[in-house]
Amino acid sequence: MRQVDLNLEVPYSVRIGHGILHEISLPHRKVAVLADGAVAETYGNTVAVALSAGGSDARVYSLPPGEDAKAVSVYEGLLSTLARDGLTRDSAVVSVGGGAASDLAGFVAATYLRGIAFYTVPTTLLAMVDAAVGGKTGVNLPEGKNLAGAFHQPRGVWADLDTLATLPDRVFREGTAEVFKHGLLANPGICRDVLAPLFGPNYPGLEATVEAAVRVKAEVVARDPFEKGERAYLNFGHTLAHAFEAFTHREIPHGEAVAYGMHYAAHLSYLEGGTDLSNLTRAFLTYQRPRPLPPLDLADLLPYMARDKKADDEGLRFVLLRGMAQPYLARVGADTIERAWTAFQKDLPALAAEAVG
Ligand code: GLY
């Protein structure tokens, strides 16, 4: 097992290994295990059994699968359920599932009785290296993703790599977008791993790759827990990605939207004077094989991009790369946004052909 420590005011550890779900034990009498409906009967129950063996009174609550868990109605229903079931300030919430499960469960934990203890058990790659680490929690509004939320750090994270072997191949590849992103932002070795021919749930070096990707996030979050500055770099590729997700009503899932968004951001970075990294982001798209994008105009996406949380009163801001592992935040002119879109769109037909072939 490997461990990455987050050196925050209240420090915590991310444990990464095989079979570690069975080892979970917590110092709380009552524990609500909020599990994605797709894994509630499997990993949710495994976690509850381990907690019960350690002396907790653990109960599994099944969430609507995926992003549907992040509806305000689900959040409200859970608060009432926890109140009826008698959870107190000494109780804890544990999330089991992907990023949506940890976002929702974290927001429940952040607000129930003004905040109770929270732990995460990510079962997708995307959640292991990103969503379940760092304390961003929230729900979606009809107007956009994550528009209501809170920072509420978990007190511990268990990333059991065995859970990845049961994911559909497409979901595993989707999650690699956030791993690759951490490579581009801070550690080129991670990008090499992801593009290695054998990379997958049974890749011999997977534990080390996940550890390296978590370490990138942990270091950024420790320096900037409330996103006053460099934490925004973790948003690389996300301005366009969130617009793709919203415009397609999430037909393009997050990790695939991020893969496209990183490629666009690479074009933008080059036009702003950076090294051309678009061959690398293109190679990643070839590996990931995201769903093809529907026919889109930039004008369709700009209203969604304007809701990006990095936008301020003066307009849009993007995370760009001067070169490998050299991120910065910049305002980009409308003309450059358009030129990068043209360059990005030119790559799409060949990518679609590769995805089919
Ligand atoms: N997912 C980006 C962050 O946690 O800041």
Residues 239-288 have pLDDT tens digits of 999 999 989 988 999 999 999 999 999 999 999 999 999 999 999 999 99
How large is the average pLDDT for residues 325-338? 95
Catalytic choice (67, 174, 211, 227): 227
Bridge partners for 61 per DSSP = 34
Ligand 1 atom closest to the CA of 135, numbered from 1 = 4
Active site residue 145: no
Q: What is the helix (H) or strand (E) element at residue 125, kind and residue range?
A: helix 125-126
How large is the average pLDDT for residues 298-309? 87
pLDDT at 144: 77
State the Cα–Cα distance between residues 239 and 64, nearest whole angstrom. Answer: 26
78 Cβ neighbours under 8 A, 6+ residues apart = 34, 61, 104, 108
Looking at the chain, how many residues does it have? 357
Active site residue 250: no
Q: Which residue has the tokens 């679609």?
A: 352
- Would the CB of 290 count as within 6 Å of ligand 1? no
**What is the whole-number distance in angstroms between the Cα of residue 137 and the centre of ligand 1?**
10
**What is the whole-number distance in angstroms between the Cα of residue 53 and the centre of ligand 1?**
33
Share of the chain above pLDDT 90, in %: 88
Q: Are 320 and 330 in contact (CB under 8 A)?
A: yes
Class of residue 326 by CB neighbours under 10 A (exposed 0-12, middle 13-18, buried 19+) = middle
- Would the CB of 237 count as within 6 Å of ligand 1? no
pTM listed for this prediction? 0.95
Task: Give ∠ CA 222-226-231 in degrees, rounded to 5.
Answer: 65
Q: Which residue has the tokens 């026919």?
A: 295
Residue nearest ligand 1's atom 3 by CA: 234
State yes or no: pLDDT of 313 exceeds 80. Answer: no
Ligand 1 atom closest to the CA of 134, numbered from 1 = 4
State the Cα–Cα distance between residues 49 and 44, nearest whole angstrom. Answer: 9
Residue 245's SS3 state is helix
How large is the average pLDDT for residues 305-315? 79
pLDDT at 307: 79
Catalytic choice (254, 267, 282, 317): 254
Residue 67's SS3 state is helix
CA distances in angstroms from 41 to 60, 65, 81, 166, 346, listed in the order given: 9, 12, 19, 14, 45
128, 136, 178: which to mutate for ligand 1, most atoms within 8 A of CB?
136
